[in-house]
């Protein structure tokens, strides 16, 4: 796996590209925006999504999907709601390499995990998942980062870790492809809730309670979908939840903080270029909870706020008025 293709020129795709170059790989970064392609190739910086962070001149960006599709392994970093369309373009371009999911979310229309989307679009493809507690800017600056790399084929997982890993980027192998996706998807919804707690100044006690009870919701959904508890308690579950709920570096947490301060969702989204996946994933997670008849009250509240016009303070009051119960997952 000498040549790594990365599909998606946002902050996370660019950070993964920078890391793969440090691992000694030839890297081709596909970006939708011509501005990103030219900035990476000429200025060696993604001025649109990662301004101020220099990139290795060895990193090549392209707007030609076929050029990225010619790689030995392909990292898919397209937003979750666009994964199906982008993966279709990749298949049409002739890609036959292993596909590594690096996006976090649930497809709204189908309630499918990204691995199911790829199985539909690219049947027979080798699929892996890379997920964990990762802020793009920190990885791009070569700060230490650890992730889960999940693959049902252990040999494939080992080859990917050998290709992508180095002393500042440490992938841990897992066989639990489902579990590695659930934590990353649901934590984006919970991070918006954590932001609301911060914005509404509900205190550190409430923030800790939110993370703990949010983890219980992740565990319930994971159990319903066949995930392993160990995965959900690892980097791609608890690790990602703690990181994303604890810093406004998170797009989802910062969005929630603005909501908690009383700003309107449409106004917040109108100011942003990057995607806060939790806005879209909330409806999918709430629908999955209904389908499997499991309690996910925090995620349900976020769905009502983000997609059904509910008032933030009303949802806070409703959560705090729930009946007292035995503490279980």
Q: Burial of 116 by CB count in 10 Å (0-12 exposed, 13-18 middle, 19+ buried)?
A: middle
Block residue for tokens 């999918």? 284
Is residue 26 annotated as part of the catalytic site, yes or no?
no
Q: How far is CA 148 from the centre of its chain?
A: 12
Q: What is the pLDDT of residue 278?
A: 87
Residue 253 contacts by C-beta under 8 Å, 6 or more apart in sequence? 191, 192, 194, 195, 198, 244, 245, 246, 247
For residue 271, the model assigns a pLDDT of 87
Q: Is residue 40 a contact partner of residue 66, using CB atoms and an 8 Å limit?
A: no
**pTM of the full structure:** 0.94
Cα angle 49-10-238, degrees, rounded to a multiple of 5: 105
pLDDT at 328: 76
| Two tokens, residue 22 | 């440090």
Structure tokens at 84: 């199906």
Give the residues across from 146 on adjacent strands.
Answer: 170
Average confidence (pLDDT) per 10 residues, the chain, 329 residues = 96 98 98 97 97 97 96 96 95 95 95 97 96 97 98 96 98 97 95 97 97 97 96 97 94 95 93 81 96 97 96 96 87
Which domains does the chain show, CATH number per domain?
3-175 (3.40.50.720), 178-320 (1.10.1040.10)
Helix (H) or strand (E) holding 233: none
Distance CA 129, CA 109 (A): 21
Contact (Cβ atoms closer than 8 angstroms) between residue 128 and residue 103: no
Cβ within 8 Å of residue 267, ≥6 positions away: none
**CA Rg value for the chain:** 19
The two three-digit tokens of residue 11, written as one number:
């902050």
Q: Which of 104, 187, 257, 325 is catalytic?
A: 187
Element housing 29 (H / E): strand 26-30
- pLDDT for 272 equals 79
Q: CA-CA distance, 224 to 295, in Å (whole number)?
A: 11
- 173 forms beta bridges with 149
Question: What gap in Å lies between CA 134 and CA 251, rounded to an integer?
Answer: 12
């Amino acid at each position: 796996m000498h040549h790594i293709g990365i599909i998606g020129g946002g902050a996370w795709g660019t950070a993964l590209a920078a890391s793969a170059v440090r691992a000694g790989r030839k890297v081709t970064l596909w970006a939708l925006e011509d501005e990103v392609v030219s900035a990476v190739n000429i200025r060696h910086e993604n001025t649109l999504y990662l301004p101020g962070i220099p990139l290795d001149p060895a990193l090549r960006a392209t707007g030609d999907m076929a050029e990225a599709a010619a790689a030995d392994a392909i990292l898919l970093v397209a937003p979750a709601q666009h994964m199906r369309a982008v993966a279709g373009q990749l298949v049409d371009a002739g890609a036959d390499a292993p596909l590594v999911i690096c996006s976090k979310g649930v497809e709204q229309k189908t309630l499918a995990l990204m691995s199911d989307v790829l199985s539909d679009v690219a049947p027979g493809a080798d699929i892996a998942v890379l997920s964990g507690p990762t802020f793009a800017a920190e990885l791009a600056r070569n700060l230490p980062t650890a992730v889960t790399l999940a693959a049902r084929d252990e040999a494939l997982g080992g080859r990917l870790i050998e290709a992508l890993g180095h002393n500042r980027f440490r992938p841990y192998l897992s066989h639990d492809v489902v579990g590695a996706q659930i934590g990353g998807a649901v934590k984006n919804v919970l991070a918006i809730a954590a932001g609301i707690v911060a914005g509404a100044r509900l205190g550190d006690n409430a923030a800790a309670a939110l993370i703990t009870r949010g983890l219980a919701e992740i565990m319930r959904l994971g159990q319903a979908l066949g995930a392993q508890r160990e995965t959900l308690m690892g980097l791609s579950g608890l690790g990602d939840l703690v990181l994303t709920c604890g810093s406004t570096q998170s797009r989802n947490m910062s969005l929630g903080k603005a909501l908690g301060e009383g700003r309107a969702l449409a106004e917040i989204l109108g100011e942003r270029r990057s995607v806060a996946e939790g806005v879209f994933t909330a409806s999918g997670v709430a629908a999955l909870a209904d389908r499997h008849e499991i309690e996910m009250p925090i995620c349900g509240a976020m769905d009502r706020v983000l997609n059904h016009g509910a008032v933030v303070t009303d949802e806070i009051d409703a959560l705090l008025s729930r009946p007292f119960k035995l503490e279980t997952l």
